[in-house]
Structure 1
Amino acid sequence: MDHLVLTVIAEDQPGLVECLAKCIAEHGGNWLESRMSRMAGQFAGILRVAVPAQAHADLSEALQQLEQQGIRVLVAQSGAEPERRWQMIQLQLVGNDRAGIVRDITQLLARHGVNLESLDTDVLPAPMTNELLFRADARLAVPSELSLDELQEHLETLADDLMVELKLQPAD
């Protein structure tokens, strides 16, 4: 079996996932895992599928044909997972919204070899003041050679500069 990673985006409407699932199933594919969401009238997702090697090309072609229905699909060969030992950590951050928060946090993480496994962000009004608050929840893969105390120290220094609150805890 070949493992493929598909990135999908389309204007949101009922039946999009069913159309994609039908196309995969018709080519002997197996839907393995996915992350999908609706945002600002668009539907986007990433998924991993297994497909028989002999059906790979036909599935890729069929997925490209979905563009005629307004569904854009990018197909990539599944990559190998790195041979590194990681500690999985959950990062929660809340602070007044301003441009550059994601850039500053991810820049620090990359500098220390931390891999961002998932990231969910929102900008919401604060309960009492209606000021806009930026909220982020991230799942991080921290290299085992990086001490969590050291990472915490670097993140706290940045959090003070950004005027945000952050919390690190072991991921589930």
Structure 2
Amino acid sequence: MDHLVLTVIAEDQPGLVERVAKCVAEHGGNWLESRMSRMAGQFAGILRVAVPAQAHSGLIDALQQLEQQGIRVLVAHSGTEPERRWQMIQLQLVGNDRAGIVRDITQLLARHGVNLESLDTDVMPAPMTNELLFRADARLAVPSELSLDQLQQHLETLADDLMVELVLQPVD
């Protein structure tokens, strides 16, 4: 079986996932994992499928035909996972919204070799003041050679500069 990673984007409408799933199933494929979401009238997702080697090109052709229905699919071969040892950490951040928060946080993480496994962000009005608050929830893979205390210090210094609150918690 070949493992493929598919990225899907389309204007949101009922039946999008079903059409992609149908293509995968019709080519003997197996839907393994996915992350999908609707935002601002668009639907986007990333998924990993296993497909028999002989059905690989047929599946890609069928997925490309979905473009006629307004569904764009980008196909990539599944990569190999690095053989590094990681500690999984959950980061939660809240602060007044301003441009550059994601850039500054991800810059610091990249500088220390921390891999961003997942990131969910929102901007919403604060309960009492109605000022916009930026909220981020991230799952981080921290290299075993980086102490969590060091990472916490670096992030807290940046959080003070950005005027945001952040919490780091190990993931079991």
TM-score (norm 2): 0.99
**Cα offset, 1:42, TM superposition:** 0.3
Q: What is residue 124 of structure 2 aligned with on the other side? A: 124
Residue 72 of structure 2: SS of its match in structure 1? strand
Question: Structure 2, unaligned stretches of length 5 or more?
Answer: none
CA distance in 1, matches of 2:20, 2:68: 13
CA distance in 1, matches of 2:55, 2:171: 37
Deviation string for 1:13-52 (max 9, x for gaps)?
A: 0000001100100000000000000000000000000000
Question: Structure 1, unaligned stretches of length 5 or more?
Answer: none
CA distance in 2, matches of 1:65, 1:171: 41
CA distance in 1, matches of 2:102, 2:51: 36
**Cα offset, 1:7, TM superposition:** 0.1
Q: What is residue 107 of structure 1 aligned with on the other side? A: 107
CA distance in 2, matches of 1:89, 1:11: 33
Identity among equivalent pairs (%):
92
Give the number of aligned pairs.
Answer: 172
| Match runs of 1:61-140 below 5 Å | 61-140=61-140
Residue 58 of structure 2: SS of its match in structure 1? helix
Query: Is the counterpart of residue 143 in structure 1 residue 143 in structure 2?
Result: yes
Residue 24 of structure 1: SS of its match in structure 2? helix
**Cα offset, 1:171, TM superposition:** 1.7
When the two chains are superposed, the root-mean-square deviation of aligned CA atoms in Å is 0.4
